[in-house]
Amino acid sequence: MAFLDPTTWQDRVLAGGWTPGGAGTREVHEPATGAVLGSVGLADAADVAAAAGRAAAAGREWAARPHAERAAVLRRAADLLTAHAGEIGDWLVRESGSVRLKAGIEIEGSAGECTQAAALASAPYGELLPDAGRISLERRVPVGTVGVISPFNFPLLLSMRSVAPALALGNAVIVKPDPRTAVCGGVVIGRVFEEAGLPAGVLQVLPGGAEAGAALVDDPGVPVVSFTGSTRAGRAIGARAGELLKRAHLELGGNSALIVCADADLDAAASCGAFGSFLHQGQICMATGRHLVHRSRYDRYVELLAGKAEQLPVGDPYTAEVALGPIIDGGQLAKVQDLVDRSVAAGARLVAGGTARGPFFAPTVLADCDPSVPAYAEEVFGPVACVRPFDTLDEAAALASEGEYGLSLGVLTADPAAGLALADRIPSGLVHINDQTVNDDPSAPFGGVGASGVGRVGGARANLEAFTETQWVTVRAESARYPF
C-alpha cells in the first residue's frame, strides 16, 4: 500500500485520528492541468477548539516522555521523508506546481529539520543562577500547544520548520495548512509522524480557511502561533495575538535586493539572479525582486539575465523536465500579469517574458525600474526580475534599504569584506555575500525585519526561544521561615 494511500486521509482531517472535518471537503487540484487529484477534509472553529483540548492532554504526556524517545521519533520522521521521497515529490510537483529540483530541495530540507530537531530534544535547556542559601536556576519549559499556519509555496518545509522543533521540545502541535496544498503541507506531515510513532493527539492537521485560522489564533489553549504568509495577513494575526497576550512568530513577505557590484563576475551574477528570481516561479518570500547593478555593468547584466530567462523551459513539471512550472492559481496569475502590465505602462522596459500561457508565466525581466514601477516597489510572488542601475555604494545601500520589507539580501563582489560592510548598512534578516537571496538551512535562524516579520524560527537557539517559556526555579534544603 502506498505511503500516502488516499483511503487513509481522503475527505478527512487528522484530529486524534483521521475523521471528517466540520467544514466539509475541498478538491485538490493540479495547477498545471486543473485535474482533480483527490479531496481533503476541512476544519471549522469547533474542530479547532476540540483539537486544542485534545492537544492539552496529549502534550502533557508527550512532554513527560524521555528526551531520547522524542528524539527517536524525529529521527524516524527524517528517515520516512527520505524513504518516501519519490511519492512525496510527486505530490509536491502535482499539487504545488514544484519543479523536480525544488521538490527535492523541500524534501531534503524537511528531513534536515527533523534531524536538527532530534538533536534539540537533548540540548541544554537551562543554567544555574548565583544565589546564597538555595539553588536558583533558569530553565526552558514547553509552551504547551503550538499553532502552525503554513503557506502554499513551500508547504512541506514551511510547516516542518515549526512542527519539528516544537515537537522535539515537548509541545503538541496543531497545523493549519493552506487548503490549496493541504496534502503536501498537512497530510504528508500527519502520515510521517503517524508512522514515526508519535502518540495520537500530539500532532493534529486541520486544513481550513479563514475561520479555522482565526479560531487557532484565538484559542486560549494555543499560546504560541507560528505563521508564514502574506504581510497583510501577518499584521492581522500579530494584532490579534497582541490583544490576547500570546506570542506570534511571523514570517511574512519580502522584496529582496541583489546588489551586483562593479567588480562582480557577471556570468555568475546572472546565474544567481536568475535562480533567485525564477525558482518556483518566483513564489518565494526570499525571491530576488530587485536587481541593483553598478552602472558600468548594467547593460551587460540585463542582457545576460534576459538570455537566461529566454532559455529556461516552462511547462508541466510532472510530464516534462522544466525550470518553471505553473503559478498556483488563476488569482495569483492575474495579479502577476497585472503588475507586469502596469509596470510597463509606468516606464519599465520589458526585456524578456511578460506574458502568460495557460497557467504558466514566462520568466520576465524588466529593466530601467524605479519606485514608480509597481513590480519593483511591491512583492510580486511571480517570476519577475526588476533591474535598476546604481553609481556608488552609498546609492546601492540607499536603494536596497528602500521600502517596508527586510527579509533577505544578496551582495555579489570580488571583495567579500567590502560586501559585508555594505550589507551592514542595509536592514535585513538574512544576508548572503556572493550568493542570491533564496537560501535556507535547518541549523540557521530564519526571519526578517520590518514588514517581513517578527521573531525567528530555525537553529537550536532560536527554536528553543520560540517554542518554550522561561521559568525561574529555586530549591532550598528545608522550608524557609519568615518573620510573619
Q: Which residues contact 457 (CB under 8 A, 6 or more apart)?
A: 161, 162, 165, 226, 249, 251, 445, 446, 447, 463, 466
- 447 and 456 in contact (C-beta within 8 Å)? yes
* pLDDT for the residue numbered 61: 98
Q: What is the pLDDT of residue 197?
A: 98
pLDDT at 1 over 90: no
- Reading the block at residue 50, the C-alpha cell is 476540540
Q: What was the pLDDT predicted at 412?
A: 98
pLDDT value of position 209: 93
Q: Is 285 a catalytic residue?
A: yes
Its sign, for the CA torsion 446, 326, 214, 449, is positive
Which among 184, 285, 369, 386 is annotated as catalytic? 285
pLDDT in tens, 70-124: 999 999 999 999 999 999 999 999 999 999 999 999 999 999 999 999 999 999 9
**303-349 pLDDT tens trace:** 999 999 999 999 999 999 999 999 999 999 999 999 999 999 999 99
How far is the C-alpha of 127 from the C-alpha of 162, rounded, in Å?
Answer: 25
Mean pLDDT, rounded, of the chain: 97
What are the tens digits of pLDDT across the range 202-242? 999 999 999 999 999 999 999 999 999 999 999 999 999 99
Query: What's the pLDDT tens digit per position in 338-389?
Result: 999 999 999 999 999 999 999 999 999 999 999 999 999 999 999 999 999 9
pLDDT at residue 86 in the model:
97
127 part of the active site: no
Fold for 256-433, please state it: Aldehyde Dehydrogenase; Chain A, domain 2 (3.40.309)
Instruction: Assess whether the region 6-252+452-472 and the region 256-433 belong to the same CATH fold.
Output: no
Q: Where along the chain do its domains lie?
A: 6-252+452-472, 256-433
Asked whether the predicted pLDDT for residue 471 surpasses 90, the reply is yes
Task: Could you please state the CATH topology (level 3) that the domain comprising 6-252+452-472 is classified under.
Answer: Aldehyde Dehydrogenase; Chain A, domain 1 (3.40.605)
Contact predicate 269/419, CB 8 Å: no
Phi then psi dihedrals of residue 333, to 5 deg: -60, -45
Give pLDDT, residue 193: 98
To which residue does cell 524605479 refer? Answer: 370
Which listed residue (194, 251, 378, 465) is catalytic? 251
Of 439, 484, 442, whose CA–CA distance to 462 is shortest?
Answer: 442
Main-chain dihedrals φ then ψ at residue 116, nearest 5 degrees? -65, -40
Residue 167, number of CB atoms within 10 A of its CB: 31
Q: Residue 168 half-sphere exposure, CB side, CA atoms within 13 Å?
A: 32
Report in angstroms the alpha-carbon separations of 480 from 13, 131, 326, 342, 473.
52, 15, 68, 73, 15
Q: How far apart are CA 19 and CA 378, in angstroms?
A: 41
Rounded to whole angstroms, how far apart are CA atoms 3 and 41? 18
Above 90 in pLDDT, residue 294? yes
